[in-house]
């Protein structure tokens, strides 16, 4: 039941990511007007650098510079090996060989089906983005059981009060 609840939550988050809904300003989450989308290309030092630069140049509602630091790279399984190679820590013998992206965490999401689309996300503890929540007082799956009287056995009921949605576009960048 716990695995099914986790799979349901992940599916809801991926559905929000793929749907690219409109934000309150009328533009989709990933849009040129939000400066958080670039053309499709495989993960590389060049594409990660472009995504990081775009995230660093994000501004707040009043036009002020905000500190958006990439933390995660979210890829479909098709790009897992490429992303692992790009993010791999190496023992560089000279500065030019150092990997500036070794501190990013790779997340491979099998529910992402477009092999040309992948994402860079900031730490959700630092900036809002794709958020999820549980009903107050009901974090995670709520399990109730009832002992059988007419039949030997136990009835089990599981309830999950879960919701997800976009709060802000600035913490995410899409390539593809």
Ranges of each domain in the chain: 2-175
pLDDT over 80 at 96, yes or no: no
Whether the model clears a pTM of 0.75, i.e. scores above it, the answer is yes
Query: Which residue in the block uniquely carries the two structure tokens 């995670």?
Result: 140
**Residue 32, CB half-sphere, CA atoms under 13 Å: how many?**
1
Q: What is the pLDDT of residue 90?
A: 75
Query: Are 68 and 56 in contact, with CB atoms under 8 Å apart?
Result: yes
Residue 54's pLDDT is 95
Does residue 63 have a pLDDT over 90?
Answer: no
Contacts of 29 (CB under 8 A, 6+ apart): 20, 21, 22, 23, 36, 166, 169, 172
| Residue 160 pLDDT exceeds 80 | yes
Whether the pLDDT of residue 155 is over 90: the answer is: no
| More confident position, 2 or 47 | 47
Which runs of consecutive H residues, i.e. helices, occur in the chain? Answer: 2-19, 45-56, 80-87
Q: List strand residue ranges (DSSP E) for 76-159, in order.
A: 105-108, 118-122, 130-134, 142-147, 154-159
């Amino acid at each position: 039941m716990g695995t099914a609840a986790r799979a349901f939550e992940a599916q809801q988050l991926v559905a929000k990511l793929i749907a690219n809904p409109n934000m309150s300003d009328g533009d989709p989450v990933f849009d040129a007007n939000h400066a958080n989308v670039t053309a499709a290309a495989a993960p590389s030092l060049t594409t990660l650098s472009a995504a990081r630069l775009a995230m660093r140049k994000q501004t707040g509602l009043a036009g002020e510079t905000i500190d958006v630091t990439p933390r995660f790279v979210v890829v479909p399984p098709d790009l897992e090996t490429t992303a692992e190679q790009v993010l791999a820590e190496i023992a560089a013998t000279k500065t030019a060989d150092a990997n500036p992206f070794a501190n990013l965490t790779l997340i491979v999401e099998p529910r992402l089906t477009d092999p040309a689309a992948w994402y860079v996300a900031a730490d959700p503890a630092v900036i809002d983005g794709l958020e999820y929540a549980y009903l107050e007082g009901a974090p995670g799956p709520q399990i109730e059981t009832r002992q059988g009287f007419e039949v030997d056995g136990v009835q089990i009921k599981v309830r999950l009060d879960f919701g997800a949605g976009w709060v802000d576009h600035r913490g995410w960048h899409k390539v593809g």
